[in-house]
Amino acid sequence: MDYKQRIIVDIEKIDKSLDEINHLTFTSEEKEIIERAKSYKKDSKYYLEKKDEMTSFGCITYAHGLIDAIKLSHNIN
């Protein structure tokens, strides 16, 4: 799997993670964290289109970290 394919898979995974937490009730701080994760996902797509795979991967990785923190705080594996 090349870098571009890996990033595309990670973008799909972040969408699944967002779906997993969609039903929860969030604090205003958690809502901001989720919005930032969505922004990083959008940035990842942008940089992927620009063929800047390094930056794209960094963005999607950061988005995963933010969503993982939300999932952890709500006891979701």
Q: 76 in the Ramachandran plot: left (φ > 0), alpha (ψ -120 to 50) or beta?
A: beta
**Could you identify the residue written with the tokens 């809502």?**
31
Number of domains in the chain: 1
Which pLDDT value is given to residue 56? 98
Which pLDDT value is given to residue 1? 79
| Tens-place pLDDT, residues 19-70 | 999 999 999 999 999 999 999 999 999 999 999 999 999 999 999 999 999 9
Q: Is the pLDDT of residue 18 over 90?
A: yes
Cβ of 44: how many Cβ atoms within 10 Å? Answer: 25
The domain that holds 10 is classified in CATH as 1.20.1270.90
Domain that includes residue 64, residue range: 3-73
Q: Is the pLDDT of residue 77 over 90?
A: no
End-to-end CA gap in the chain: 26
